[in-house]
Structures are given as structure tokens and as C-alpha cells.
Amino acid sequence: MRKSPFNTILSGLLIAVMTVWLAVPFGMALLWSLVDPSQAWSYPDILPPKLSFERWSLMWDSTSLPIAMFNSYSLAPMAGVGAVLLAMPTAYAFGRLEFKGKAVWQTLVLVPLIMPGFVTAIFFASLLFSMGFFARYPAILVGHVVMLLPYAVRILSVSFSLVRQDVVNAARDLGASPISVFRVAYLPVLKPGIFAAFLIVFILSIEEFALAFVVGSPDFTTIPTILYSYLGYNFIRPNAAVVALILVVPNVILMLILERLLQSANPAGISGKG
């Protein structure tokens, strides 16, 4: 470790600035969400006249927030499982096999990441419209799986490439069935990658707005679409603050778990080569 007063001072300063940078917006949102419904907070009051959690329970009881949460939190794990399962064979090919045009395929799988979200959403909706397909829930699920598949493929390709061929060979030589080989040689190495891929698809599905908004229009709600409705057409600041905080808090917790997983999934840790 290098010690230089310049670094310490600069980083201390930056940390202080960033704390303010995060604390002020979240503090304001919290304050707005606590405005008691019995007294408005309007100009020229600097602070709300009365604080309570009343608005939180009001939003919960009188909006479709519970339905939106159910939709989001049931779509996300299904999208996660679906994406991981569908990504496995491709990731195996990318991670463990050499074949012609591999680099091209590896690039092509990233197409959903560079296609603007609203283009995908609107013209997927147009396709569904022509097909006369009106079930929004499965449509959004399929959309999320495909749009988030590249993440799962990338993460799992790395995991597959970390599986040691000598362990696989040893298991085979000992007469293990293909299933046992997978269980003994592959699974332990893949596990952190599978969790990480699942979690990243889960988080991105919870956050996904364009597809849920366009395909789900006008009445299928997820947490981001209900948030958008309170930020856009029905912009009422205290209500928007409640929904925003409900969306962000579980996300932060999940991301912290993901961060842990990705650290434990680091190559050196898995392969024992470190």
C-alpha cells in the first residue's frame, strides 16, 4: 500500500461529496414520502408541517401497488430461471468448445443490449398485436428472458471455461455417469455463476420499464410502470416518493448480495489456481 497525503485527502473529500450526493436526494424523497395526508406541504413552508407513515399505508391500500409488486416479484424469478436454463447450452459451447465463427456468435448474442429498449418493446408489441396474442404476462416474461439472456450467457460462459478438464477426465475415468460428472466436476464451479446470472437477470427484470410499459399498456402494472405513472401523467410528489422508495430499497439489498456473489465467483477462488 502506498501512502500519500494527496490520495488520502482527495479520497476523503470525494467520499464526503458523494455522501452528500446520495444523502440529500434520498433524504428529500424520504421527507416527501412522510408528508401527512392531513396537511399539505406547499410553498412557502421549508419543511413539511406534519410527518407520519400514513401515506405509506394509504398507497398500499388504495393503489394497485400490491398487484404491481406481485407481478414484478413473480416475473423476475421466472425470467431468471428461464434465462439461466436457456443460456446453459450456449454458454457451454462458448466456454468449453472451439468452433468456427465462435467470435461472431459471441458478438451476435449481445444484440439485445445495443437495440434501444423502446424499439424492441414497440415492435414486439406490434408482432403480438398481429398474432392476436393478448396475454400480457407471458408476453412480458418471454421478452424479459430474451432481452436479458446475453447477461446469463456471458456470465455462464466464463463459469464453464473455469471448469478444469482434468477433474472432468478424472471423474470419467472413475466411471461416473454423465450426470455424476456434471454434479462432481461442473456444478461446484458453476454454482456461483448460476447464482450471479440468476440474480442479475432478476434485478434487471424488476427494473425493466420499456417492455412492461408498452406491452403491458394500458393496465398491466409492474413496479416501474406504476412508478412511471406517478412520475409522469399523475405526478403527485409525495405519492411518487413512496413508490420510488419501495422500488429502490429491495434493489439495494439484492445488489449487495450480488456483489458478494460476484466476488466469491472470482476465477482464482473457483479454480484453486490462485
Contacts (CB under 8 A) with other proteins, residues 81-120: 86-93, 97, 99, 105, 108-109, 111-120
Identify the residue among 80, 192, 193, 238 touching other proteins (CB under 8 A): 238
Site string for other proteins, 178-217 (x = CB under 8 A): -----------------------------x-xx--xx--x
Of residues 44 and 178, the one with the C-beta less far from other proteins: 44
Identify the residue among 11, 177, 180, 266 touching other proteins (CB under 8 A): 11
Q: Looking only at residues 18 through 37 of this chain, which bind other proteins when binding is defined by CB under 8 A? A: 18-19, 22, 24-26, 28-29, 32, 36-37
Give the number of residues in contact with other proteins, rule: CB under 8 A.
101
Q: How far is the CB of 179 from other proteins (least distance, A)?
A: 18
Single out the residue of 154, 122, 144 nearest to residue 206, CA to CA.
Answer: 144
Q: How many helices (H) and strands (E) does the chain have?
A: 14, 0
Q: Specify which residues 35 forms β-bridges with.
A: 51
Helix (H) or strand (E) holding 105: helix 102-108
CB 195 within 8 A of CB 103: no
Single out the residue of 182, 205, 165, 166 nearest to residue 88, CA to CA.
Answer: 182
Torsional sign, CA 138, 60, 45, 29: negative
Q: How far is the CB of 18 from other proteins (least distance, A)?
A: 5
